[in-house]
Amino acid sequence: MKTKFHLFELFFPHGLHLSRGPQNTDHSHPYLHSDAILAALMQVYSQWGLDPEDLKSMVLSSAFPLVKDGQKTHYFFPKVFFPEVKGFDEEKGFAKKLKKIAWLDYESFEALANGKFQFMETALKDSYYSNGPRPLMQSNIRLRTRVGRDQEDTRPYYIDELNFSAESGLYFLCYNLDAAQLKQLRTALRMLKDSGIGTDRSVGKGNFYFTETDLELNLPDQANYALNLGVFLPNNLEEWKQLTQTENHRYELLQRGGWFDGSSAFIGRRKNSVNMIREGGLWSNPQGSGLLVRGRVADLAPQSLIKEGLGHPVYRSGKSLFIPLNLEPYEL
């Protein structure tokens, strides 16, 4: 089944810093989580006097690596959290090498979804699996100083910057958006591109330009498993039970929350936090369904700040697109 997605390609000429928290500035996330994209878009939308509720229901994937090679663009997808996989030659260490893969190129991801993936050692380089070019992203540690106030000492600290080659960037997929919603999303991206995304924006980090295109994926009509392409927060216990019916389900927790930034009157105050599921989880698909949207949006506004006058919700979207995977041939 050919499925068409609309996607946005983001390019960061001045680098990017995606903070893991105020105590972890020397380690940057290597990609953008879906809830962070939507939160940044909703914030800038609100700053321009528009209603962020217009964007709340949108379902976006996280932003994954891409690289351009002439007229062709190579898109990379997260590898599913595989359990033990049968059929790989342990003597040659293929199973261990399979676990090292973080990113599959478009062709390999499509083959995996349809039960036709064949591991080739020559395609594995670092954490990327592809016979074509890999995105070039370099991590650079920069020394900064925080000037103390009054009698406080000046403190040095380190920032981890992600710098991309001119041909490399990130992209995210949109699902089931109508023309009016695409226009709203495009407008929000135009607002955000100059103010930037991530931290260290005051020195130009996180500024980007974007392009748009469509991408077709050949996905199975019937599949016994599914993979989430964005961070995921289950609606309820019943949904969780449906997704974890087999012992082969695999996932990784990710704490989402953070701090109010410089655009807020509550700068430096902490938001509530919630555990979500990282991209690439392996889930049961008992109905053998195709594409599905699961999850919910959480409001992380602290009750204490609402009493102090915080007059708006603080949304984090745990709604994710689930891609069907036919993993029966791999004998999980």
Indicate the residue type of 197: I
Structural domain including 17 reads 2-330
User: What are the pLDDT digits (tens) for 244-256?
Assistant: 987 888 899 988 8
Q: What is the DSSP letter of 283?
A: E
- 67 is written with which tokens? 């690289």
pLDDT at 26 over 50: no
Q: What percent of the chain has pLDDT over 70?
A: 80
Task: For residues 48-73, give the mean pLDDT.
Answer: 91
Q: How many domains does the chain have?
A: 1
What is the number of other CB atoms lying within 10 angstroms of the CB of residue 100? 11
**d(C-alpha 19, C-alpha 198), whole Å:** 7
pLDDT at 40 over 80: yes
Of 149, 154, 273, 143, residue with least CA distance to 200:
143
The answer to whether 327 and 272 have CB atoms below 8 angstroms apart is no
- Please name the helix (run of DSSP H) or strand (run of DSSP E) that holds residue 43, with its range, or none: helix 34-47
Cα 80 to chain centroid, rounded: 14
The answer to whether 170 and 65 have CB atoms below 8 angstroms apart is yes
Higher pLDDT, 167 or 137: 167
The CA-to-CA distance between both ends of the chain, in Å, stands at 24
Here the contacts of 254-259 (C-beta below 8 Å, separation 24 or greater) are 254/33, 254/278, 256/33, 256/35, 256/231, 256/300, 256/316, 257/300, 257/316, 258/21, 259/22
Residues 6+ positions from 26 with CB-CB distance below 8 Å = 141, 157, 158, 159, 160
**d(C-alpha 270, C-alpha 131), whole Å:** 44
Is the Cα torsion angle 207, 202, 16, 48 positive or negative in sign?
Answer: negative
- 125 is written with which tokens? 């380089």
Q: What is the CA radius of gyration of the chain?
A: 21
pLDDT at 24 over 50: no
Task: For residues 9-29, give the mean pLDDT.
Answer: 69
Indicate the residue type of 244: T
Task: For residues 305-330, give the mean pLDDT.
Answer: 80
The answer to whether 273 and 261 have CB atoms below 8 angstroms apart is no
**d(C-alpha 332, C-alpha 327), whole Å:** 7
* pTM (2 d.p.): 0.87
**d(C-alpha 39, C-alpha 22), whole Å:** 18
Q: What percent of the chain has pLDDT over 90?
A: 38
Query: For residue 258, what pLDDT band results from cuts at 50, 70 and 90?
Result: confident
pLDDT at 67 over 80: yes
pLDDT at 137 over 80: no
Q: What is the pLDDT of residue 2?
A: 87
User: What are the pLDDT digits (tens) for 197-243?
Assistant: 877 776 677 899 999 999 999 999 888 899 999 999 999 999 999 89
Report the mean per-residue pLDDT for the chain. 83
Q: What is the pLDDT of residue 92?
A: 56
Q: What is the DSSP letter of 90?
A: G
